[in-house]
Amino acid sequence: MPSNGAAHLRGNRAFAALWLARTASYLGDFVALTALVLYLYDRGASATDMGVVLAARALPQALGPIAGALADRWEPRRVMVICDLGRVITVGLIAILLPPIPVLAALIAVTSLIGTMFLPTGKSCVPLLVERDQLGRANGMLGSSHNIALAAGPVVGASLINWMGPHAAFGFDAASYLMSALLLLAVPGRLRRGAATSRPRLITDLGVGLRYLAGHRVARTVALALFFSVMFAAMDNVALVYLVRRDEDGSAVTLGVATGVYGVAMVIAPMTIVFSRRRLNGVSLLVTGLALGGIGLTTVALAPPLVLIVACYTIAGAGNGLENVGCDTAIGENVEEDKLGRVFGAVYGPIFLAETIAALLGGALLQATSSRGVFLVAGGGLLTVALAAYLSTTAAKQPPSR
């Protein structure tokens, strides 16, 4: 058995194809998001127009549980390839036509809906391609790809818009999906063992999946931990600029450095899992990530010098990186194969709601207290979530009392 994730990648061509495909489409996603915002701004879109288009991008994520139910009914490779080709068409139309804002919003909504369908399929595919003792490393590699794209995508998107225009920027995104579809052809066509030729009605499948999630302690803990951790952690999106620029009189460059080191830490933390010779299970990674995130945001609230604020924010970034890997690994290690799609869909579907609550709650707290107060609440909330997740999963391992 390979001793690290890099060796595993070399020895597992199907996972290598999935990893390369996800890397390509992750980069395209973040290039397109930056290009979209800049394009709307450059063409004089109003704040309302901007909000409508971004809402069109976010709202389809609410259908994650339905997407998960469909993911469990169909073969993963077919779903992923069809989704990628669908996004080639929708984003390609945007690149060619640069349509008026109502049409653009509709195309963005369709693209996001297709992406929502892809997400539970792509995540549920990983436990079918790698051995369980390699699952943490595999998810670590995918997490690093996502986070590198998160850091590099905005730079590439802004550069393409600036030097070559929106046609090239959106065309880059469409090409990334085409590349992903071609790479995914190397994934085996039938991954699910004993897949039924006929299944119950979709609504029945969905109900079974939701009841399974509600009754499965580890899966339920992961779902609740992810929702509440996003709700607390995303408050920093509101407070960071006020803390650095207003309260500490930092420059715009300092704000960029703080955001950048957070992203770098998100990349490095999953890579430590990939190359570590010690195997950590998904629950341990999740709890560790939540705790580090809580410690990082709490110390940001308490650290007086600006340089220490940036250093503490780096700790929070590392925690976020580990938490993301821990969520996917814990589900892959503990959930039955035929329910992976529904569980992933139900776990990740409500995230958009958590981010919305975070924005509203963070703004209200900032108004009522201070930027440091927001970070203190966010950090304390994450530490509470970490403790609750630890206690819940520890209780699951205890033998029943007699």
Per the structure, the complete domain to which residue 271 belongs is given by 201-396
Query: Cα-Cα-Cα-Cα dihedral of 290, 291, 295, 296, to 10°?
Result: -40
Nearest-angstrom CA–CA distance, 70 and 323: 26
Contact assessment for residue 128 and residue 76, using Cβ atoms and an 8 Å cutoff: yes
Instruction: Kindly state whether residues 139 and 270 are assigned to the same domain.
Output: no
pTM of the model: 0.80
User: Measured at the alpha carbon of residue 89, what is the angle toward residues 77 and 98, in degrees to the nearest 5?
Assistant: 150
> In this prediction, what percent of the chain has a pLDDT beyond 90?
38
Instruction: Tell me: do 243 and 385 sit in the same domain.
Output: yes
User: Quick check: is 401 in a domain?
Assistant: no
Together in a domain, 341 and 270: yes
172 band by pLDDT with thresholds 50, 70 and 90: very high
Q: Helix, strand, coil: what percent of the chain each, to 5?
A: 85, 0, 15
Burial status of residue 94 (CB atoms within 10 A of its CB: 0-12, 13-18, 19 or more): buried
Terminal CA-CA length for the chain: 40
Q: Residue 339: which CATH number?
A: 1.20.1250.20
Does the pLDDT of residue 81 top 80, yes or no?
yes
Tokens of 24: 């390509």
Please check whether residue 45 lies inside any domain of the structure. Answer: yes
Q: Which helix (H) or strand (E) holds 235?
A: none
Q: Are residues 221 and 359 in the same domain?
A: yes
181 and 150 belong to one structural domain: yes
Residue 208 and residue 326 in one domain: yes
Same domain, 207 and 170: no
CA-CA-CA-CA torsion sign (171, 177, 179, 181): negative
Domain contains 329: yes
* Mean pLDDT of all residues in 125-143: 87
Q: 183 and 208: one domain?
A: no
Based on the domain organization, do 128 and 244 belong to the same domain?
A: no
**8 Å CB contact between 34 and 153:** yes
Mean pLDDT of 165-175: 95
**Tokens 């992976």 -> residue:** 340
- Looking at per-residue pLDDT, the higher value among 355 and 82 belongs to 82
pLDDT of residue 7: 58
Q: Is residue 356 part of a domain?
A: yes
Region for residue 193 given its phi and psi (left: phi exceeds 0; alpha: psi -120 to 50; beta: otherwise): beta
In a domain, 359, yes or no: yes
Same domain, 159 and 303: no
Q: Is residue 338 part of a domain?
A: yes
The pair of three-digit structure tokens given for residue 113, joined into one six-digit string: 């809906």
How would residue 104 be classed by pLDDT, with cut points 50, 70 and 90? very high
Task: Report the chain's mean pLDDT, rounded to a whole number.
Answer: 86
Q: What mean pLDDT comes out for the span 140-166?
A: 87
Distant-in-sequence, close-in-space partners of 249: CB < 8 Å, separation ≥ 6: none
Distance CA 191, CA 75 (A): 7
**352-356 average pLDDT score:** 84
- Same domain membership, residue 131 and residue 259: no
| Chain centroid to CA 19 | 15
Would you call 305 helix, strand, or coil by DSSP?
Answer: coil
Task: Please determine, for residue 323, whether its predicted confidence score (pLDDT) is greater than 90.
Answer: yes
Sign of the dihedral through C-alpha 80, 85, 90, 94: positive
Evaluated on CA atoms 185, 187, 188, 192, the torsion sign reads negative
Q: Mean pLDDT across the stretch 270-287?
A: 84
Task: State how many domains the chain has.
Answer: 2
User: Which of the listed residues 154, 189, 224 is the one where a domain comes to its end?
Assistant: 189
Q: Reply yes or no on whether the pLDDT at 190 is more than 80.
A: no
According to DSSP, residue 173 is labeled H
- Check residue 400 and give its pLDDT: 42
- Chain position carrying tokens 């590198």: 148
Same domain, 141 and 219: no
